[in-house]
Amino acid sequence: MISTIEKEITFRFLKARKKDGFLNIISIFSFIGISLGVAVLIIVMSVMNGFRTELINKIVGFNAHIVVDPYEKKIDISDKPNLTSISENLILSNNGEAIIIKKDFSKGIILRGYTNEDFSKLEFINNKSYIGNKDDLNKNNISIGKELSFALGVEVGDNITIMSSSGVQTIIGTLPKQKTFKIISLFESGLVDFDNNIAFINLETLEEFFDLKNKNRKLEIYLKNPQNIEDQKFIVQKIFPNEFVYSWSDMNRSLFSALKVERNVMFIILSLIIIVAAFNIISGLTILVKNKTREIAILKSIGVLNKSIVKIFFLVGVLIGTSATIFGIVLGVTFSMYIENIRQFLSTIFNISLFPEEIYFLSNMPSEINPFSIFLISLCSISITIIVSIFPALKAARLDPIKSLKYE
């Protein structure tokens, strides 16, 4: 417990006098350093969390949450009630790799096949950016990404030629199949890799084009709760024990691992700001002990225990660090909440493009405030403050009152 006299002396030492001007400057810099360190950490973590969430939403919005790929037998979902309880849509599909040929331009793409009814159920098809007819994915019709349409120089209503990896026998040998498709729509997923490398055609047309069979069709599962992917995947694996089951997380594991590593590294690097600022507390408290030598000696001479001296100087450091942490949290959370407004303001004032949409494919700077991250940052900041306050406090308690008053 902290006694009343310990509290009184602690707050008295926090009020720097005129002759302690340099000490006051150190305390201010310690406060500002820790506050900025905490604020910057919260802002960076919030922006990175926002990026991750936006990326997940775009990937999940374009791809199936879980895919069941058959080995030999055709997938049958008629007798699997557990599957319908966790899913919103169950769609059968297939895919193949092909080459688009347009005048002097050729490009490899992935063709995905859906029935006309299932194609209209896809989430990105119902976006405002979708151009064309979503109910006409019939024979020899194709839907391509806007990025791919720019590269090919085509628009809705134009024709393109696609070469299949499957061959057809002729009198001169085996030649790859070619088919002309009419562009009926343009989609925009928000990720350039998808828009530039994937196109959609009718499922039966695709199977005929690539010589695929019905039993090769994959089952795409769109979940009610796609974020809790590992638990959902485990349920699906139990339903299909003899099939290959994978999720959107498995398909993008390396990307999200890289984001996780980057976030952890940024946390460690930016934590150094707090550590450096905390060392200013050591300097400030050490100078405070030096300046208060006479007061410490008097306190000891009137019977104040060493543990009370330790508490007093320890509390001085902890109060500086804790108040700086609280101020940093307020600053960081406020900045994170209005980061898009701040970006627009700076772009207008300095006439520069911060966070250009054509590079990041996001119209707004994302920010997601995570209470756990704030708690972790606060815990680290206060813990560092506590650690650095111990040494000066112990040094103050070790002062000999006789020697301290000898030259006073």
Instruction: State the alpha helices, DSSP H only, in 17-156.
Output: 21-62, 81-86, 116-119, 146-152
Tell me which long-range contacts 18-22 makes (C-beta under 8 A, separation of at least 24).
Answer: 20/288, 20/291, 22/287
- Boundaries of every domain in the chain: 4-56+255-406, 66-225
Amino acid 23: pLDDT: 55
Contact indicator for 189, 124 with CB cutoff of 8 Å: yes
Looking at the DSSP assignment, which residues form a beta bridge with residue 176?
167
Helix and strand counts by DSSP (H, E) for the chain: 16, 10
Amino acid 212: pLDDT: 85
Q: Among residues 1, 3, 13, which one has the least CA distance to residue 313?
A: 13
The tens digit of pLDDT for each residue in 208-234 reads 888 888 888 888 888 877 767 888 888
11 confidence band (pLDDT: 50, 70, 90)? low
Amino acid 330: pLDDT: 93
Cβ burial, residue 23 (10 Å; 0-12/13-18/19+): buried
**Residue environment code for 93-126, b if the CB has 16+ CB neighbours within 10 A, otherwise e:** bbbbebebbbeeeeeebebbbbbeebbebbebbe
CATH of 66-225, one of 2.40.40, 1.10.3470, 3.30.70, 3.30.1460: 2.40.40
Q: Among residues 265, 259, 222, 271, which one has the least CA distance to residue 90?
A: 222
Report whether pLDDT(64) > 60: yes
Q: What pTM, to 2 d.p., does this model score?
A: 0.70
| pLDDT, average across residues 343-350 | 78
Q: Which amino acid, one-letter code, is at 321?
A: G
Q: Which amino acid, one-letter code, is at 93?
A: S
24 confidence band (pLDDT: 50, 70, 90)? low
Give, for 15, the enclosing helix (H) or strand (E). none
Give the rounded percent of residues in the chain with a pLDDT score beyond 70.
82
d(CA 31, CA 42) in angstroms, rounded, equals 17
Looking at the DSSP assignment, which residues form a beta bridge with residue 110?
97, 198
- Round the average pLDDT of the chain to a whole number and report it: 79
Amino acid 381: pLDDT: 84
Residue 155, φ and ψ in degrees, nearest 5: -145, 180
Contact indicator for 183, 144 with CB cutoff of 8 Å: yes
H, E, C per residue of 147-201: HHHHHHCCCCCCEEEEEEEEEEEECCEEEEEEEEEEEEEEECCCCHHHHHHEEEE
CB atoms within 10 A of CB 189: 22
The tens digit of pLDDT for each residue in 98-146 reads 888 877 778 888 899 998 888 888 887 877 778 888 788 888 889 988 8
Q: Residue 300 is encoded by which pair of tokens?
A: 């000891």
